[in-house]
Amino acid sequence: MNLDAFVQWVAGLPPAVFLRNSSIGYLLVNAAHIAALGILVGSITALDLRLLWSRGTVPLREFGPYLSNLAAVALGFAVITGLLLFSVKADEYVRNWAFLVKVVVVGLGIVNAVWLHAGPHWRRALREPQIPRALRMHAAASLLFWLSAIVAGRWIGFL
């Protein structure tokens, strides 16, 4: 299946047709996407800043898992609502370089998060007060990726 056929298929899916024809559906999905992004980036930022400045007053083990789980749930909602929004104007988005940058940066953010949580440094940081340097590097990369995703996402509408 080539790109044009894929775009036509996505545009013909029932959710895409509903959102294009609904007077309020797109608005609500867009609002849900923004809310999910706020929760996602807010929880990630709080966690990343704590990892970068390891002398926090609250031990990481007390809120790190909560913020990670909150970010994961918010990411799920952001991806679902993002796919719904994409389906409405798929032909425009696949040709919008800011959208393509956003997709790549979000992918990098997800890979970074999975790598961080799968490695031994996360578990060690939950047990010990010292934050490993590798974990701080993941946190810095995470902030860069997710803030870049926000900028790219906002830029989509200007191209």
Residues 70-107: pLDDT tens digits?
999 999 999 999 999 999 999 999 999 999 999 999 99
CA distance 124 to 131: 8
Q: What is the pTM of this model?
A: 0.91
What sign for the dihedral angle of Cα 26, 30, 36, 37? positive
Which residues of the chain, if any, have pLDDT below 50? none
Residue 56 is predicted with a pLDDT of 67
What's the rounded Cα separation, in Å, for the pair 137 and 51? 9
CA distances from 64 to 25, 68, 75, 124 (A): 35, 6, 16, 12
